[in-house]
């Protein structure tokens, strides 16, 4: 490492704890945020330790290739992004603190330049700017990327759970199950209903499934096609289907669209469907 760059690196590493305290003085009280001044002591200490490490990582970039710099920072931002995602710290709060971090960082570089006995030239300052700002930019880029991956994965998991809960097969007896469908049915939900109801019917060991459509307000040709496919799929695994609860306005729309339910057993209400199966069994 060139003498002046090495001296700057050593200065930043040695003053990293002081840097962190000055950075922390810019924080305020924000409930739920890891950066909040009223955060639990263990959280505040962890934030400070992570910040101090960031100072050292960025300082190290003065003597690193771009590839090595990115490798070191990415490994660390992956850990800190996971910590922020576990709390109620928003991405906007994180990026605001990156801005604070950058300003304080350059204040320390300025202090070094004014205090050192080494002859600092404009070329030195521009070289440091290129190296350090490249590292600071990559901290933001890699952190944001990792944070969003975590949040997207979490949302997909929640969405999957909601979809599963939206198509529960309820066991009425050892032979009869009930699948109440509420709300609109699109292609994605129809696929989930198909997969979920087939699996649940097998797990429950039922022979009959009542498909309650009283909560479905519209039935178009796409929805009808999905219902027919579900009935056929259930038939293949030995489960007979009865549809109930078709609303009058839905029935009228189905007729206008040429949707034919004549090949499927239907009952007007859930109670009638249950009574019919009880008699047959």
* Residue 266 domain boundaries: 170-280
* CATH number of the domain that residue 15 is part of: 1.10.490.10
Tell me what pLDDT residue 129 has: 95
Q: Are the C-beta atoms of residues 120 and 113 closer than 8 Å to each other?
A: yes
Q: Are the C-beta atoms of residues 60 and 72 closer than 8 Å to each other?
A: yes
Q: How many domains does the chain have?
A: 2
Within this chain, do residues 201 and 256 fall inside the same structural domain, yes or no? yes
Tell me what pLDDT residue 109 has: 96
- Domain finish residue from 137, 161, 185: 161
pTM: 0.62
Strand partners, 241: 209
* CATH number of the domain that residue 243 is part of: 3.30.750.24
Within this chain, do residues 94 and 148 fall inside the same structural domain, yes or no? yes
Within this chain, do residues 27 and 115 fall inside the same structural domain, yes or no? yes
CA-CA distance, 146 to 155, in Å (whole number)?
Answer: 14
CA-CA distance, 135 to 84, in Å (whole number)?
Answer: 20
- Domain finish residue from 127, 161, 195: 161
- Domain finish residue from 144, 161, 178: 161
Q: Could you give the 3-state DSSP secondary structure of residue 82?
A: helix
Within this chain, do residues 175 and 124 fall inside the same structural domain, yes or no? no
Q: Are the C-beta atoms of residues 206 and 266 closer than 8 Å to each other?
A: no
Within this chain, do residues 154 and 200 fall inside the same structural domain, yes or no? no
Within this chain, do residues 135 and 232 fall inside the same structural domain, yes or no? no
Q: What is the mean pLDDT of each run of 10 residues along the chain (281 residues)?
A: 89 96 91 87 93 95 93 92 86 90 96 94 94 95 92 75 67 89 77 86 93 82 81 92 88 78 85 84 66
Within this chain, do residues 24 and 70 fall inside the same structural domain, yes or no? yes
Within this chain, do residues 98 and 135 fall inside the same structural domain, yes or no? yes
* DSSP-assigned states of every residue in 118-172: S---HHHHHHHHHHHHHHHHHHHHHHHHHHHHHHHHHHHHHHHHHHHHTSPPEES
Within this chain, do residues 23 and 136 fall inside the same structural domain, yes or no? yes
Within this chain, do residues 157 and 175 fall inside the same structural domain, yes or no? no
How far, CA to CA in Å, does 113 sit from each of 84, 108, 136, 138, 268?
Answer: 34, 9, 19, 24, 84
Within this chain, do residues 68 and 198 fall inside the same structural domain, yes or no? no
Within this chain, do residues 94 and 232 fall inside the same structural domain, yes or no? no
Tell me what pLDDT residue 277 has: 84
């Amino acid at each position: 490492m060139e003498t002046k760059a090495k001296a700057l690196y050593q200065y930043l590493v040695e003053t990293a704890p002081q840097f962190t305290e000055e950075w922390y003085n810019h924080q305020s009280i924000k409930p739920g945020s890891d950066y909040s001044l009223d955060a639990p002591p263990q959280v505040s200490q962890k934030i400070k330790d992570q910040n101090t490490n960031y100072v050292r990582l960025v300082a190290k970039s003065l003597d690193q290739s771009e590839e090595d710099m990115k490798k070191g920072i990415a490994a660390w931002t992956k850990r800190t992004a996971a910590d922020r995602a576990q709390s109620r710290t928003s991405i906007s709060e994180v990026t605001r603190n990156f801005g604070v971090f950058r300003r304080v960082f350059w204040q320390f570089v300025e202090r070094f330049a004014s205090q050192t006995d080494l002859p600092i030239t404009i070329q030195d300052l521009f070289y440091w700017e290129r190296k350090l700002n490249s590292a600071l930019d990559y901290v933001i880029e890699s952190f944001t990327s990792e944070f969003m991956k975590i949040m997207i994965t979490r949302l997909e998991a929640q969405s999957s759970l909601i979809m599963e809960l939206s198509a529960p097969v309820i066991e009425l007896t050892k032979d009869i199950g009930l699948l109440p469908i509420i709300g609109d049915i699109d292609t994605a939900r129809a696929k989930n209903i198909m997969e979920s109801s087939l699996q649940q019917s097998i797990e429950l060991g039922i022979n009959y499934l009542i498909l309650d459509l009283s909560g479905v307000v519209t039935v178009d040709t796409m929805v009808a096609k999905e219902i027919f496919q579900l009935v056929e799929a259930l038939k293949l695994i030995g489960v007979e289907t009865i549809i109930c609860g078709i609303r009058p306005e839905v029935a009228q729309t189905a007729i206008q669209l040429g949707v034919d339910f004549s090949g499927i057993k239907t009952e007007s209400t859930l109670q009638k469907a249950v009574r019919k199966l009880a008699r047959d069994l």
